[in-house]
């Protein structure tokens, strides 16, 4: 707890210059003027939440920076900003808002805070740094007429769906990631054959057969995951959606390579064939990277399960 107080005091000093500047402005105008919260204010507009933050309040806003939104897995923000996902966007944004005015000096009395979303934020320290659901508080006490803003370095997400079902999706996604990693290794071998004219057509044929087995198995796994989407978290859903086009690209390229090889074994030296092998490797790598990145972000959030059980000191 002492480390918590030291960290809060240090951040309060860092933000002291802004304390007197915004008392006459509401939270929305204050966020606009901050300069580094442009994506947040855009999202608030898209979610029709502006009137709330311009209302009497008071509210405490844990505001992710533009960089925090940029660091979300690719496509996540675009998905949230779609009109059909407005309620999901509102749920995410209201998870960053706490009723009442909670300044830095008062945060040390809290371990949790109930959000407008209805779920709790968890407040703790890691190596002396104040964190809210794993997001570092980088600036405190930006005061407004109807509340206060604390800046954080990550977008925090509420729990969605049944945690037990989400855990099942996580396990299945981990299996998918493992299999896609194996496919990427074999795709890397095919990429190496592109530059090695000494390898026989039979070597190409054997490896392409293995790639086809990978694609078929991953296709079945992805179909299972797509059926589980209603019980998946936001990031899990994004991983499932992002995987299909890249897997389909790999499948098409593998079929093309097999077809060219069946037509004429000498095609292994043709430019189109070699370019196609490079495409297999690129698509397989992209598939693996997308799923890995999204799972890493998701798993970072799951650290909360362990941290909630700790003392936070």
Residue 88 to residue 123: CA distance in whole angstroms: 23
In this structure, are 138 and 13 located in the same domain?
A: yes
- C-beta of residue 160 within 8 angstroms of C-beta of residue 233: yes
Residue 257 to residue 82: CA distance in whole angstroms: 38
Query: What pLDDT sits at residue 298?
Result: 52
DSSP bridge pairs for 98: 60
The residue whose two tokens read 């939440």 is 49
Residue 4 has pLDDT above 70, yes or no: no
The candidate with the shortest Cα–Cα distance to 273, out of 290, 256, 252, is 256
In this structure, are 44 and 178 located in the same domain?
A: no
In this structure, are 73 and 13 located in the same domain?
A: yes
Strands 112-114 and 120-126: antiparallel
Range of lowest pLDDT (31-40, 91-100, 234-243):
234-243
- Tens of pLDDT, residues 105-130: 787 677 888 888 888 888 876 666 77
CATH code for the domain in which residue 34 is found: 2.30.180.10
Return the structure tokens found at 233: 């978290």
Q: Is residue 212 part of a domain?
A: yes
CA distance between the termini of the chain = 5
Of the three residues 98, 123, 152, the one that is the final residue of a domain is: 152
Strands 147-152 and 112-114: unpaired
In the chain, how many domains are there? 2
**How is 50-97 classified by DSSP, letter by letter?**
HHHHHSS--EEEEEE-HHHHHTSPTTHHHHHTSGGGHHHHHHHHHTTE
- C-beta of residue 140 within 8 angstroms of C-beta of residue 10: no
CATH code for the domain in which residue 229 is found: 1.20.120
- Tens of pLDDT, residues 221-277: 999 988 888 777 777 777 788 888 899 999 999 999 999 989 998 888 888 988 999
- From the number of C-beta atoms within 10 Å of its C-beta (0-12, 13-18, 19+), residue 272 rates as exposed
Of the three residues 86, 119, 152, the one that is the final residue of a domain is: 152
pTM listed for this prediction: 0.59
Residues in contact with 279: Cβ distance below 8 Å, sequence separation at least 6, in sequence order = 249, 253
Of the three residues 121, 152, 183, the one that is the final residue of a domain is: 152
Strands 147-152 and 59-64: parallel
Q: Is residue 312 part of a domain?
A: no
Query: What pLDDT sits at residue 6?
Result: 33
CB atoms inside a 10 Å sphere around CB 296: 11
Query: What pLDDT sits at residue 229?
Result: 81
**Phi–psi pair at 299, nearest 5 degrees:** -70, -30
What's the average model confidence in pLDDT over 204-222?
92
Q: Is residue 222 part of a domain?
A: yes
In this structure, are 146 and 7 located in the same domain?
A: yes
CA 46 to chain centre: 19
Q: What is the mean pLDDT of the chain?
A: 79
Range of lowest pLDDT (1-5, 41-45, 283-287):
1-5
296-297-301 Cα angle (round to 5): 110
Residues in contact with 154: Cβ distance below 8 Å, sequence separation at least 6, in sequence order = 64, 68, 71, 134, 135, 136
**Phi–psi pair at 126, nearest 5 degrees:** -130, 115
In this structure, are 277 and 146 located in the same domain?
A: no
Question: Which residue segment(s) compose the domain that 131 sits in?
Answer: 2-152
């Amino acid at each position: 707890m002492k480390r918590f107080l030291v960290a809060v005091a240090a951040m309060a000093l860092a933000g002291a210059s802004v304390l007197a500047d915004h008392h006459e402005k509401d939270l929305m105008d204050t966020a606009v003027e901050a300069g580094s919260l442009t994506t947040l204010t855009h999202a608030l507009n898209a979610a029709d939440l502006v009137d709330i933050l311009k209302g009497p309040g008071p509210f405490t806003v844990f505001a992710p920076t533009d960089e925090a939104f940029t660091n979300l897995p690719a496509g996540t923000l675009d998905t949230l900003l779609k009109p059909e996902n407005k309620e999901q966007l509102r749920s995410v944004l209201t998870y960053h808002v706490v009723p009442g005015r909670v300044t830095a000096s008062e945060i040390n009395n809290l371990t949790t805070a109930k959000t407008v979303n209805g779920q709790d934020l968890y407040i703790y320290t890691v190596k002396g740094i104040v964190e809210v659901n794993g997001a570092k508080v980088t600036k405190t006490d930006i005061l407004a007429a109807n509340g206060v803003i604390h800046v954080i370095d990550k977008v925090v997400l509420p729990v969605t769906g049944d945690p037990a079902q989400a855990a099942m999706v996580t396990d299945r996604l981990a299996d998918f990631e493992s299999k896609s990693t194996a496919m990427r290794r074999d795709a890397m071998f095919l990429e190496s054959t592109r530059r090695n004219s000494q390898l026989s057509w039979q070597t190409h044929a054997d490896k392409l057969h293995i790639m086809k087995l990978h694609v078929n198995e991953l296709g079945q796994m992805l179909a299972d995951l797509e059926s589980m989407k209603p019980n998946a978290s936001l990031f899990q859903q994004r991983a499932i959606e992002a995987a299909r086009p890249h897997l389909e690209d790999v499948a098409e390229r593998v079929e093309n390579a097999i077809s060219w090889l069946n037509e004429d074994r000498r095609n292994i030296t043709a430019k189109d064939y070699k370019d196609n092998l490079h495409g297999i490797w690129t698509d397989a790598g992209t598939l693996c990277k997308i799923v890995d990145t999204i799972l890493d972000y998701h798993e970072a959030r799951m650290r909360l399960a362990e941290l909630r059980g700790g003392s936070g000191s």
